[in-house]
A and B are shown apart, each in its own frame.
Chain A
């Protein structure tokens, strides 16, 4: 594996989004993974509709919260095609699901894997390089005060409450770290990104990690 790998260098990661005052991180992480893998597979990088997942993934609760796994199961079972963000824009509140005809263009999820990588973050790096950006859940309580740098302490695992997108890693410095895209806008953290030390399952980054297949 390379010492440093970042899918942003390959122009397959969409810009940082802002979920605003809506608990929709779970939808942002899943859609972020799908639009990146769609671009890695050779399509033009296009932003897909988070609002469609928010409104239509009925096992989840829209702005009141949800689970990336339940959203992925819904996408896989229904074979719903995610339409572009411009067709079904984000409103930061839960709305009525809009349905589209089967002939309507969009991106469908074929399959996904999800694993617990604690103690195996080296293998998680391999998954990232092999399958593209990964949807992960974390404990982000201390992120309320985060300004930047590499998180190494006081961030528990096994108490996940937030969903993010792992887009890369960098092990060239003294502290190896994951490069993680958040959905709180570009004014938070490192222009919308957070760096988490690799090893020790900091913030629970390795608790439940999903790769998507289109």
Chain B
């Protein structure tokens, strides 16, 4: 409901999202470059989004043995 606590919280997340979009879109104006804006995740805080969708963990992988290893890599 308008002006309920939940409404105000979501509205705040939206406002924060639009600030992020301005920052992210400022980097490149090349036509093919990524565009950022309002989507289905815009009323989530960054923490909510991370907790819901970014749950993969990384295990270190060995270097692909393609290129000759430089002295430092050796």
Which residues of chain A have a CB within 8 Å of any CB of chain B? 19, 21, 23-26, 29, 63-70, 114-117, 119-120, 123-124, 127, 137, 140-142, 144-154, 160-163, 173-175, 184-185, 187-188, 195, 204, 207-210
B34 touches A152 (CB 8 A): yes
A207 touches B61 (CB 8 A): yes
In the complex, whether B50 has a CB less than 8 A from a CB of chain A is yes
A208: which of B30, B32, B39, B59 is its contact (CB, 8 Å)? B59
B30 touches A174 (CB 8 A): yes
In the complex, whether B7 has a CB less than 8 A from a CB of chain A is no
Bin chain B's interface residue count: 35 or more
Cα–Cα, bound, A153→B35 (Å): 11
A26: which of B37, B39, B41, B56 is its contact (CB, 8 Å)? B56
The residue on B at minimum CB distance from A161 is B54
A-B contact count (CB 8 A): 146
Q: Given A120-B67, A137-B56, answer yes or no on A149-B32 (Cβ-Cβ < 8 Å).
A: yes
B20 touches A67 (CB 8 A): no
A116: which of B21, B46, B49, B63 is its contact (CB, 8 Å)? B63
With a CB–CB cut-off of 8 A, which chain A residues contact B32? 149-150, 173-175
Q: A116-B64, A174-B30 are in contact. List 11 more A-B contacts (CB 8 A).
A: A23-B53, A116-B60, A117-B64, A123-B64, A145-B17, A146-B39, A147-B37, A147-B39, A161-B56, A175-B32, A188-B41
